[in-house]
Amino acid sequence: MEFVVNGHFGTGADELLDELYSMSVRVSEVLDQLGYSESMVRYRCEATERLDRLLNRHRTDYLGITIGSKQEGYCCPFESDRDVMFIHETVVCRLQEDGTSSLPDTLTEFIMDNKYCNPGYYRLELIRKAKEEDSNITAALVVHSNGRAYVSSHKYTYLLRKSFNLNTVSGPALTECNDYQSWDYVFALPCTSQKQLLSEWINRPRYHNWPSPELIQEIPQLPAFLVPVGCKSSENKHMEWRVCFIGELKLTESFMESQYKLYILLKYINKHVLKPVCKDMSSFIMKNVVFWYVESTSRESFSIHNLVVNIISCVKVLQQSIRDNFLPYYMIPDRNLLRGRINLTQRHHLIAKLDMLIQEGPLVIMRCPKVRLALQMHSAELIKQGLWRVKLEKLWVEMWNMWWAYCLPGIEVEEMFRQAGRSHSFINVWQEMNDLVWPQWRLYQGQDFPTIYRRKILIALK
């Protein structure tokens, strides 16, 4: 096979490998300067945990945690939506065979019933109401012809939309946005049967020591949740809830540098090449491709030198999954992540697009606009810009957390701004940010000042 490399054809095996290794190392260095170094990933994770603790100080019925790429640390502040899961702490769900001790009367209890449901989805049968009922849960109950009451995921989502005045729904999430950012809110019910649900995952054979034995023991101890969305192809999807696992974060945390950079690049390729063909091609699909690939590939194959080779290998895995119309969910392999997502026309187009990417070989990297532009920069200028970007992001995170410190029950956003504006620390950080993105800001007298500087920060941290 011939690849076009740096404007010429490389046909010799050694020459091709040298080209691949060289490009892989350069791409990894570029990703560091774009905000994806190991130190920045750790910083974002720690900052997100601090923010979650801050925001949960005064919450009662729900515990909020950031999930997705923001929690993983694998994206810049304005690069994607902020996903937040609100956990309903007065509800518990379990499998019928999962015997439980006597629960306090403050909890509403549901049994998870997967009869007539696709793998990974459940109907939730009411066993007992809490002493103080949740109005949305109660209003979402539907009595089946068998005389039993089940909570409808569709009704529950509709009631939440009304309660929070949010009109957009994406899967299990309610979406809120402004001119600068969007938030996806997922309301979830705790599940106590994660060990039973993950029994196959725990016991299946693995040949490359990933996940490690320690992780295989730890992950089933972590919470699982039911989120209000049914299987797309199910006739009963309005009644179904999907199970998900917080333990997936431990898997991404265990990634080596070359593995998480592989994941980031696949997300870029998906966004710019595949999603325009089929909007249901998600980052979650890419994550599962990487999970399977890492589990089935020797650790020695993951180095910065092999980054481009591993991207092409993952593209081949994804292409075969789309041909088969089957990509197993890593935690529950019987659940097909492609079920009901891709029609026949989209499948043909996606297979053709992926074939094109495979044929491009190393040039597949050029499908990622941020990476392509950075590769064209002089190394010294790229490093200078990378240091500037890191400083700006850390200032932004510091200011964001300081601002949210003024969040109290019932307080208006305008009052939060007023209180923050009295803090010398807050003002100093804000001014330092403006100095970075707009050195002449003190001379500007226009009324659109807030819009201009926010847009400059948005562009810099996107």
Confirm if 285 and 270 have CB atoms less than 8 A apart. yes
* Distance, CA of 397 to CA of 77 (rounded, Å): 8
Per residue in 188-244, pLDDT tens? 999 999 999 999 999 999 999 999 999 999 999 999 999 999 998 888 999 999 999
Q: What is the pLDDT of residue 72?
A: 95
> What is the average pLDDT across 338-344?
93
Map out the domains of the chain with their CATH numbers.
7-36+255-375 (1.10.1410.40), 42-245 (3.30.460), 379-460 (no CATH)
119 near 334, Cβ under 8 Å? yes
In the 8-state DSSP scheme, what is residue 442? G
According to DSSP, the β-strands at 108-113 and 91-95 are parallel
pLDDT of 57-68, one tens digit each? 888 778 999 999
Are 403 and 420 contacting, i.e. CB atoms less than 8 angstroms apart?
A: yes
pLDDT digits (tens, 9 = 90+) for 415-424: 888 898 899 9
Comparing CA positions, the residue from 168, 186, 156, 172 lying closest to residue 70 is 186
Residue 285 has pLDDT above 60, yes or no: yes
Note the pLDDT of residue 2: 34
**Alpha carbon of residue 225 to chain centroid:** 16
Q: Inter-axis angle of helices 424-437 and 449-460, to 10 degrees?
A: 70
Mean pLDDT, all residues of the chain: 91
Identify the pLDDT of residue 13.
61
Token digits of residue 201: 């995952």
By percentage, how much of the chain surpasses pLDDT 70? 96
Predicted pLDDT at 18: 75
Using pLDDT thresholds of 50, 70 and 90, give the confidence band for residue 101: low
Rounded Cα gap, residues 401 and 389, in angstroms: 18
pLDDT at 408 over 90: no
Q: Do residues 427 and 440 make contact, with C-beta atoms less than 8 angstroms apart?
A: no
pLDDT given at position 1: 29
Whole-number percent of the chain with pLDDT over 90: 73
Tell me the whole-structure pTM to 2 decimals: 0.92
* Token code pair at residue 400: 């964001």
pLDDT at 37 over 50: yes
Residue 9 above 70 pLDDT?
Answer: no
> Lowest mean pLDDT: which of 51-55, 87-91, 132-136, 319-323?
132-136
C-alpha 109/C-alpha 125 separation (Å) is 8
Q: Choose among 437, 439, 458, 416: nearest CA to 55.
A: 416
